[in-house]
Structure 1
């Protein structure tokens, strides 16, 4: 009986010691289950308007920088470019014409005998300047319309993943309005939301251990990259009659605010695919510099 009591007491003490050690470890190294995988999401925006004639990607497909995503009907832009080129030729012909006339007037003036007045020379020189400006305008128009024609082929700005694709052949896209989302393949990070009371002495560069909910047996190492300097407050927003909207709170219940901490992963295993918005747990190992080589 005494032996059984002694064994039970030892087990209870061991359990309490383990709980105490774990709690102390938690106090020393902040931990949160409120973490998310984040990445830069590029809103691919066409520069011209028109229907899609060739959609070359599928939903959730991987693309490389410079790869064509879709092509907008180029015919109207090709016609406009051809017209601009014709206008440029006309402007160049007009410039040649006034230059020849100006040269003829200059030669007559050099011969003397008052055949050409000073005012006539001034006018022909101004005509040359105006024709030169017309050529410059026509050439700029050609360059602009050539750009518009090139913009009908929309390319991926970076390596990434197309997500939530709703476009189809024939879909009308509008200039300067986002058409699809592209997740930057090389921009993933972890956003952990820690209680303000836990990170007062956390510094960028400290070690972090990230456990993804999708890969619970593969903890990933990373570093604290930055700590947020502000969060939005619900109280004080404008409500009815332009008065501040303040929610009632109980003074004896005061929850710690959560501050976003950005974690940069050291390496991502090949079998781990990060996805924006998925859940993660994050533990920060405070002051790890003494353990670094």
Structure 2
């Protein structure tokens, strides 16, 4: 019974040791998602706030309503100017039929009519921007505004995480990329769910290192005596066939990734063979050590 248990332990050891060569692993990985940052195109006081943290919203749902009274007044003024310009344009056009005015006055009236129409259109757009709608379906996060607060043009208001579509960015070392290709099977373990491995696959490999597109200056490798290993981002998609609760998963949550780069069918056979050989070696060594101990414990006496 002890030999069977010891053989099982040896099999587990060799299987774990040999299977490591079939995978490329990294703990430098995180979850990514489509995140839309919402900002205001006009300034004003927030009249109504219909968005709260972690709320689910639909596409086209009203999120924020900015006080529109100033913009309604601007539209009224622009419309009055447009009507005046249009009336003047109609009068000038009638006079142009009998050649009672110069070409310059005709062109000036025409340009004024077109300009006032454009101004009215711009003011109408500004009035429409006082209502901020959700451009996608998702969950609200990082809200930084309150009802009654004054917001400026271009000011950040909140973010929306798109639906339940997430993927993994695994940063692998340069020397790990030789056998990593799109389409390979992978396993992902999210730190928030440490007991579960999720099925995934490699989607693509970024052409360039992790720091190549950073806004900060890159490290000057020519000044280092020790060469620094760079990291290459690899995009990994979850398997759509598996179902799991993604309600608590969000961007920048850390994860561990294993990419299967080799066929591991022979690993189990080699594990059995190596574990058997190891067991035989242990038995032989045990017998040799036991024999030597027995000899040393019964010394021969001479007369």
How many Å apart are 1:260 and its aligned residue?
Answer: 1.8
2:239 to 242, 266, 285: 266
How many Å apart are 1:82 and its aligned residue?
Answer: 0.5
Q: Does 1:81 align with 2:75?
A: yes
How many Å apart are 1:166 and its aligned residue?
Answer: 2.3
Unpaired segments of 5 or more residues in structure 2?
A: 264-303
CA distance in 2, matches of 1:87, 1:144: 14
Name the Cα RMSD after superposition. 2.9
1:282 to 220, 238, 257: 257
Q: Does 1:43 align with 2:37?
A: yes
CA distance in 1, matches of 2:17, 2:121: 68
CA distance in 2, matches of 1:213, 1:167: 31
Equivalent positions of 1:138-177 (< 5 A) are 138-177=116-155
8 Å Cα contact 1:215/1:272 also seen in 2: no
8 Å Cα contact 1:73/1:152 also seen in 2: yes
Query: Could you say which residue in structure 1 is the equivalent of 2:211?
Result: 232
- In structure 2, the CA distance between the partners of 1:28 and 1:87, relative to structure 1 (3 Å rule), is same
Query: Could you say which residue in structure 2 is the equivalent of 1:23?
Result: 17
How many Å apart are 1:151 and its aligned residue?
Answer: 0.4
How many Å apart are 1:250 and its aligned residue?
Answer: 6.4
- Aligned residue pair count: 259
How many Å apart are 1:12 and its aligned residue?
Answer: 4.9
Q: Does 1:193 align with 2:167?
A: no
8 Å Cα contact 2:221/2:228 also seen in 1: no
How many Å apart are 1:57 and its aligned residue?
Answer: 0.9
- In structure 2, the CA distance between the partners of 1:180 and 1:224, relative to structure 1 (3 Å rule), is same
Residue 158 of structure 1 aligns to a residue whose secondary structure is: coil
8 Å Cα contact 1:209/1:222 also seen in 2: yes
Unpaired segments of 5 or more residues in structure 1?
A: 107-119, 239-243, 289-293
How many Å apart are 1:84 and its aligned residue?
Answer: 0.3
CA distance in 1, matches of 2:245, 2:201: 21
CA distance in 2, matches of 1:23, 1:171: 60
CA distance in 2, matches of 1:43, 1:237: 26
CA distance in 1, matches of 2:201, 2:166: 13
Q: TM-score, normalised by structure 1?
A: 0.78
CA distance in 1, matches of 2:17, 2:173: 16
1:207 to 150, 171, 185: 185
8 Å Cα contact 1:66/1:157 also seen in 2: yes
How many Å apart are 1:31 and its aligned residue?
Answer: 2.0
How many Å apart are 1:65 and its aligned residue?
Answer: 1.2
8 Å Cα contact 2:96/2:106 also seen in 1: yes
How many Å apart are 1:126 and its aligned residue?
Answer: 3.1
